[in-house]
Structure 1
Amino acid sequence: MTENAHLPVFEAGSLAGRRALVTGSSRGVGADTVRYFAQGGADVIINFRNKAPRAEKLAIELRELGVRAVVQGADLTDEASVASMMTAVQEELGGLDILVLNASGGMEGGMAEDYALQLNRDAQLRVLDAALPLLGDGSRVVFVTSHQAHFIRTTPTMEEYEAVALSKRAGEDALRERIPELQERGIGFVVVSGDMIEGTVTATLLNRLNPGAIEERRSQAGKLYNVSEFAAEVARAAVDPVPEDNTRLVGDVSSFGG
């Protein structure tokens, strides 16, 4: 468990009866987000791409809280795989109240040239479309992104991250276009944007490619959130009132324009 993850975000039982799916939730921000939901009493779907044992271990931990914790693998870039996941969600939980679009990537090696766009834009829309029949009035969709991506149109980022940032912003824009439709269905939508998060895979990769990047950003911002702290903000965004601009900014933004 990551630092501070044992400190609950919600009162025990306050989320009883709610059902949450967090994509990419076998580790990192996704794992702590799903853990917070379970601590509040929500039944949860733990989604993974290729780390089943890690997801199963988390599920065992969360079941001890008295909630249902279902492990469901899916490749979000594959339509059939996503459809299969949603079928399992329907069969296991009967629907969804919270969908957190957390899974992202694009810095992995050996992938197709357009993989970042496939995952960070196309797959996000695919998951949303597949989940819509399961989401009822009063439910919530949360999209997780970074300041480096959210502000990419006005503030340049590191060269090593630019393609990923642009793809994540494309995903955010495409999802925002769906807000009127979601509102008609009674579904709230929130973008949670965070500064560089210490301990994430992306931050580690960036620091490896650009040594000193994390220290430099920490110096500029004064503080960087860790995984569990940022996950707490993501979890709260699924329950707190939807901001007027559908955006929850986490961490310092003074270095970002727009």
Structure 2
Amino acid sequence: MSSVAGKTVVITGSSRGVGADTAKILAGEGANVVVNYRQKAPRANKVVKEITEAGGHAIAVQADITDAESRAGLFRAAVDEFGGVDVLILNASGGMETEMGEDYALRLNRDAQNDTLTEALRTLPQGGRVVFVTSHQAHFINDVETMPEYEAVAKSKRAGEDTLTARVSELQDKGIGFVVVSADMIEGTVTATLLNRARPGALDERREAAGKLYTVHEFAREIAAMVTADVPTGHVELVGGAEDFLAQAGR
């Protein structure tokens, strides 16, 4: 895919933060964007309003990707509005919530990612692309320890990445690209804020180790770039601050 102009992009968890900025960037490049949210309709509608007022095309669709009927509705809305889906960005993640059940991290970060891909394959055409968004803390968790407060989430996100990567040959057979985009802690995100609250100084430690932490917008630009990047299926794009992770992992 050389351009997103006229293509339809579904972005899970895109009512705020990195997902919202990714939606705005891709809409600015001419994509039709489906802004997915689980609960906060006003936030999603605000993102859509900003996109449409700038001359772009977007809709907000409520869907909990851990629920089968909800997932199907997400893609059905995209097809009804824009005629199809060309790109899926798996941005939604979580697991630090205390009220969602102790298995929520795995249900969301592994099972729901895989099930959302399965649903998307009913619609994605040859030449389409799937982008999975993760963190260095999760990508390297098998080799590099992370903060205890984040370990369960990191392991669940790595499990999700492994499950999706195991489907690369299936995707190749269908002519669909798959890319992983991983970054260090991101300034201003909910996860970074929660971790820094649980372990004061965590952000400062990562800034020192990485040299620089990306902002929400900077990471969103990297994700948007991977939608059309000329990379092989299964490529992992390590965005900033990965050198110390690579060194600790012995790579």
Q: State the TM-score, normalized to the length of structure 1.
A: 0.92
Q: How big is the shift at 1:245?
A: 5.2
Greater displacement, 222-231 / 238-247: 238-247
Structure 2 counterpart of 1:163: 152
Structure 2 counterpart of 1:252: 241
- TM-align CA RMSD: 1.1
Structure 1 counterpart of 2:116: 127
Task: Verify: 1:76 aligned to 2:88, yes or no.
Answer: no
Structure 2 counterpart of 1:148: 137
Structure 2 counterpart of 1:108: 97
Aligned 1:198-213 pairs, distance under 5 A: 198-213=187-202
| AA of the residue aligned to 1:206 | L
- Other structure's SS at 2:125 match: strand
* Whole-angstrom distance in 1 between the partners of 2:191 and 2:5: 33
Given that residues 106 and 164 in structure 1 are in contact (C-alpha distance below 8 angstroms), is that contact kept between their aligned partners in structure 2? yes
Identical amino acids, percent of aligned pairs: 59
Greater displacement, 215-224 / 85-94: 85-94
Q: How big is the shift at 1:15?
A: 2.8
Which one of 31, 37, 43 corresponds to residue 48 of structure 1? 37
Gaps of 5+ in 2: none
- Other structure's SS at 1:118 match: helix
* Whole-angstrom distance in 2 between the partners of 1:243 and 1:161: 30
* Whole-angstrom distance in 2 between the partners of 1:100 and 1:171: 14
Cα displacement string for residues 130-183 of structure 1 (whole angstroms, at most 9, x for unaligned residues): 111211011110000000000000000000000000000000000001110111
Aligned 1:48-67 pairs, distance under 5 A: 48-67=37-56
In structure 2, the CA distance between the partners of 1:23 and 1:212, relative to structure 1 (3 Å rule), is same
Residue correspondences, number: 245
Q: How big is the shift at 1:65?
A: 3.1
Which structure shows the higher helix fraction? 2
Task: Verify: 1:91 aligned to 2:80, yes or no.
Answer: yes
Q: How big is the shift at 1:75?
A: 0.7
Structure 2 counterpart of 1:189: 178
* Whole-angstrom distance in 1 between the partners of 2:50 and 2:170: 37
Cα displacement string for residues 222-250 of structure 1 (whole angstroms, at most 9, x for unaligned residues): 10101000010001011111247510000
